[in-house]
Amino acid sequence: MSDNTISRNKAMTKFDQHDSVWLFGYGSLIFKADFPFIERRPAHIVGWSRRFWQGSHDHRGTVQAPGRVVTLIQDEGATCAGMAYLITPEVFDHLDYREKNGYLRLSTDIIFEDHSSAEGLIYIATEENAAFLGPAPERDIARQIAKAEGPSGRNADYLLGLAVALRELGKEDAHVFEIERHLQLLNAINQDAE
């Protein structure tokens, strides 16, 4: 797959004629939306797990020291909690550009807290994209995150912001919270050494 997913996402025209579309955010979108939206609601999707398996050399890291950001991995029976945004299709131009380092649009069912649902969109980075890093022990992921920083800021702030946002939603994510625990241990060790 090419590094740049913009043209592939433009070819995904499924919602282009809709007045509005639900977009499910499971990463930084939970706590930071840099686009206009009509409404937002806590929601979840089924059959997917959030994982820090995507490399980031353009936002939370560099080519020399890539960071790690989340993607979704198919996982039968799992649920992934996040925030759904009702947006107009024009917003996809902005997101396609921002997420051009491997993320593709995919349609999926989004389930809201009142148990209603809507077909909407997620952006996922699969193992076919060049920036995909794949699984690693949570401790190693925390070490990589601790060292990484890119144009969008420190990779650690992305992880900690996501963990805080999930707690505010009242949602568990063992993978995210375990990486956060290791990062806090690393920070404590570094402070002791100073």
Q: Which residues contact 94 (CB under 8 A, 6 or more apart)?
A: 34, 35
Q: Which residue is closest to ligand BEZ by CB? A: 27
Question: 3-state DSSP call for residue 35?
Answer: coil
**Do the bridges between strand 153-154 and strand 149-150 make them parallel or antiparallel, or are there none, so unpaired?**
antiparallel
Catalytic residue check, 99 = yes
User: Least distance (Å) from ligand BEZ to the CB of residue 136?
Assistant: 19
User: Least distance (Å) from ligand BEZ to the CB of residue 109?
Assistant: 16
User: Least distance (Å) from ligand BEZ to the CB of residue 7?
Assistant: 17
Given CA atoms 112, 115, 117, 120 in this order, what sign does their dihedral have?
Answer: positive
Interaction between residue 99 and ligand BEZ (CB under 6 A): yes
Within 11-154, where are the H helices? 91-98, 138-147
Interaction between residue 96 and ligand BEZ (CB under 6 A): no
Interaction between residue 53 and ligand BEZ (CB under 6 A): no
Q: Which of 39, 76, 90, 99 is catalytic?
A: 99
Q: Residue 27 gets which letter from DSSP?
A: S
Interaction between residue 123 and ligand BEZ (CB under 6 A): yes
Q: Which stretch binds ligand BEZ (CB under 6 A): 6-14, 21-29, 39-47, 177-185?
A: 21-29
Q: Which stretch binds ligand BEZ (CB under 6 A): 23-31, 109-117, 151-159, 166-174?
A: 23-31
Is 130 in contact with 149 (CB distance < 8 Å)? no
Q: Which stretch binds ligand BEZ (CB under 6 A): 19-27, 38-46, 86-94, 141-149?
A: 19-27
Q: Which residues contact 170 (CB under 8 A, 6 or more apart)?
A: none
Is 5 in contact with 129 (CB distance < 8 Å)? yes
Indicate which residues carry an active-site annotation.
Answer: 99
Per CB under 6 A, residues contacting ligand BEZ are 25-29, 99, 103, 123
